Structure 1
Amino acid sequence: MGRPTGVSTGVGWPDEPAAPDESRVSRETERLPEATDSEVPLISPEAPDVTEAPEATEAPGSSLPTSEPPRRTVTPSRDPLAGEQWRRPVRTRILTIANQKGGVGKTTTAVNLAAALARGGLSVLVIDTDPQGNASTALGIDHHAEVRSVYDVLVDEATLAEVVQPCPDIDGLLCAPATIDLAGAEIELVSYVARETRLQRALHAFLDDPQVLKPDYVLIDCPPSLGLLTINAFVAADEVLIPIQCEYYALEGLTMLLKNIEMIRRHLNPRLFISTILLTMYDARTRLSQQVATEVREHFPEQVLGTTVPRSVRISEAPSHGQTVLTYDPMSTGALSYLEAARELATRAV
């Protein structure tokens, strides 16, 4: 993988003499299907209903409350959310954060968007289905082997209400953690009846429980591979959010991801559609980042958020402290970018 000559990334990489093969990016995108050309459309013509909701109340024993823009350059301010209350959706929006290519900022996007939505006054549930448990770690959630987790929901039919934990640093944010036991769930689920719909049924039971107040958003973080855990995440969701890094190999695997989403839509979940694409690790100083962003916007003009998330040391450091970047350094460029992306997600028509 190459980078443009003489450009510093801000992360300590030395300059490289060779310029990237820009034709490679173009060749990758030429293989991508147009968003509107699919026989079974992946992009829904209907946008989620969003309206003003009454003030939330809290049920006994529950910590959950009820019920293409211009490109942005985010600059710090004293209080980016001063006096602002984001609109609540009429019904819970369920999004799977997915990309079959690793290292694109999938988990980072899941936890920071969740934290940003909660900062905007919305209630959020994060479901961690990745055996590595990185989303659980970033949210400061206990997820050692003895903790009840998504594994117990999928394999032992525990309820989500029994496994969710409140995020210690952010009000209105819950997490159903992942433990290392999930690594064996792929094999254990093979012999189960309706194994692809176990998370969907558990989530619907959670949302229909009168003792649990519905979250406004459910964000599902899943592994990069297309196994039963990821299939369960796709079947449980209504929307797919795809983070794409603005780097050389970013578009590799995207064609296969789109085919897999279409397969899930055809056979298991006809409601599923791609609602959002977020460009991550963006460096405006490099021609390569700009070219990748342009190519993605050309193929998915309605889905790509106007906000891009920059490459940021603070974003990378935050998980090692058991925090999101919004609590680790709330006035950093990375934190403000995720706030702006979450605001756009909550208000835009898709």
Structure 2
Amino acid sequence: MDFDTLPYADFDQIFYAPQFAADCLGITTKALRSFEDEPGMEVRRMNRGSVPARVYTPADLFKIASIRRSKGLTKTLQRPLTISTFVQKGGTAKTTTSVNLAMYLGFMGLKVLLIDNDPQGDATSMLGYDPDLTPEELVDLGIPADRAVNGSLGNIIATSSLFAPKGLADVIKKPFGEYGPHLLPAEGLLEDMEVAINASANQDFRYALFISKGRKRELPQADLSGYDVILFDNAPSGSLMTRNSMVASDMILCPIRMDKFSCRALARLGNKLQSFAEEYQRSPDVAAIPTMFIKNRPRAMAHLAALSQMFPGKVTEGKLYFSEDYSKALESGLPVLGWKGASENSAGAMRSVFGEILERLVQM
């Protein structure tokens, strides 16, 4: 499905039954119910048959995740981490992985900033924002004006006169409320970041410097100290923007289709990471995720074996299986982990894979 045709979904009007909500948070329905009396929690009831049933919005779930964290019931990181999703090949589910991982980590109680580092703005669109239309044009279509994008990473870093300086609070989006993952969106003008970085000093370290200072509260326009994870979604190209995100990262997340072209792209990435280690004295961890996997297909198994040999210990045990759920979720304007129709083959597999990723992050 074309990202330009994604429908508008009002996340405040998405209601989950207790079992689905509990599955998102990785807890039981009994544990879920125990948070109803927490200060500030207001669980809605909707008539289903003759008995009002409890329902939860996405924002409710992220608030419960935050409460669970405050009570020491979730896993925590030893330090703030930065992740880049990248492989130099299109169609491997990079954006789907980035957006849903941001949601998963939020459900697990972590504070996440997702940065759309691709001028096409696919991650921005997947979360319900329009990188192309003005607020007035959106209102004409019956979509709230706040779904328009008012800047990007370029405006926050402000490396040149190509971008009007703005504060993080002026640009950031919070699709699921304060406690959910935050989004630093993209728009078409972000492509000028390539020119701006190229003209700056220490051009490969612009993002790393920005993140380091932001986490230390040294940037008045961008306080990043509250985020456990900063997650970059990148274009499938080895641009200066992508390279900056990778240099700044502790982990490179690589969704890989089980075909020879994707595996070849990952092999090129392996060579690039070796040169990174030599040139920048940085060696980010790698997590390769088999995507669009079809069970019991000999060719897929052969590519998986080759991938495991290429990156020993870096390939996730879990796999993201081929499923129509992904396109159906997009048609509903929701990421898979927030779509009520998702099956164990899609959302369940995704939670399993992301659980492995979280375990690696906890150990870093």
1:302-342, Cα deviation, whole Å (9 max, x unpaired): 11111100011111333354421111236422112221212
Residue aligning to 2:248: 236
Residue aligning to 2:209: 201
Residue aligning to 2:151: 148
Which residue among 280, 291, 315 is the counterpart of 2:302? 291
1:324 equivalenced with 2:327 (yes/no): no
1:131 equivalenced with 2:134 (yes/no): no
Match of 2:316, SS state, is strand
| Cα distance in 1 for residues equivalent to 2:318 and 2:240 | 32
| Cα distance in 2 for residues equivalent to 1:97 and 1:212 | 20
| Cα distance in 2 for residues equivalent to 1:240 and 1:99 | 9
1:101-156, Cα deviation, whole Å (9 max, x unpaired): 11111111111111111112221111110111111111224534761111213444
Q: Structure 2: give runs of 5+ residues left out of the alignment.
A: 1-18, 32-67, 134-148
Q: Please report the RMSD computed on the Cα atoms of aligned residues, expressed in angstroms.
A: 2.6
Q: CA deviation at 1:344?
A: 1.4
1:118 equivalenced with 2:89 (yes/no): no
Residue aligning to 2:96: 108
CA contact (8 A) 2:117 2:235 kept: yes
| Range that drifts further, 159-168 or 179-188 | 159-168
Which residue among 188, 205, 229 is the counterpart of 1:217? 229
Residue aligning to 1:254: 266
Structure 1 or 2: more helix by fraction: 2
Match of 1:237, SS state, is coil
Tell me: CA distance 1:256–1:300, structure 2 relative to 1, closer, same or farther (3 Å): closer
Match of 1:88, SS state, is coil
CA contact (8 A) 1:241 1:277 kept: yes
| Cα distance in 2 for residues equivalent to 1:167 and 1:223 | 22
| Range that drifts further, 176-185 or 190-199 | 190-199
- The one-letter code of the counterpart of 1:271 is R
| Cα distance in 1 for residues equivalent to 2:290 and 2:264 | 15
| Cα distance in 2 for residues equivalent to 1:266 and 1:330 | 47
- The one-letter code of the counterpart of 1:166 is K
CA contact (8 A) 1:308 1:341 kept: yes
Match of 1:342, SS state, is helix
Residue aligning to 1:245: 257
CA contact (8 A) 1:330 1:336 kept: no
CA contact (8 A) 1:169 1:327 kept: no
- The one-letter code of the counterpart of 1:110 is S
- The one-letter code of the counterpart of 1:276 is A
- The one-letter code of the counterpart of 1:124 is V
Tell me: CA distance 1:320–1:181, structure 2 relative to 1, closer, same or farther (3 Å): farther
CA contact (8 A) 2:208 2:247 kept: yes
CA contact (8 A) 1:122 1:216 kept: yes
1:183 equivalenced with 2:212 (yes/no): no
- The one-letter code of the counterpart of 2:195 is I
Higher RCO by CA contacts (8 Å cutoff, separation 6 or greater):
1
- The one-letter code of the counterpart of 1:202 is F
CA contact (8 A) 1:124 1:216 kept: yes
Tell me: CA distance 1:291–1:186, structure 2 relative to 1, closer, same or farther (3 Å): same
| Cα distance in 1 for residues equivalent to 2:169 and 2:250 | 21
Tell me: CA distance 1:95–1:200, structure 2 relative to 1, closer, same or farther (3 Å): same
Match of 1:230, SS state, is helix
Match of 1:277, SS state, is strand
Tell me: CA distance 1:188–1:281, structure 2 relative to 1, closer, same or farther (3 Å): same
- The one-letter code of the counterpart of 2:282 is R
| Cα distance in 1 for residues equivalent to 2:129 and 2:208 | 23
1:196-247, Cα deviation, whole Å (9 max, x unpaired): 2222222223222296552222211111111111111112212211111123
CA contact (8 A) 1:117 1:124 kept: yes
- The one-letter code of the counterpart of 1:326 is L
How many pairs does the alignment contain? 274
Residue aligning to 2:52: none
Match of 2:151, SS state, is coil
Give the 5 Å matches for 1:3-18.
none
CA contact (8 A) 1:143 1:149 kept: no
Q: CA deviation at 1:161?
A: 4.9
1:39-74, Cα deviation, whole Å (9 max, x unpaired): xxxxxxxxxxxxxxxxxxxxxxxxxxxxxxxxxxxx
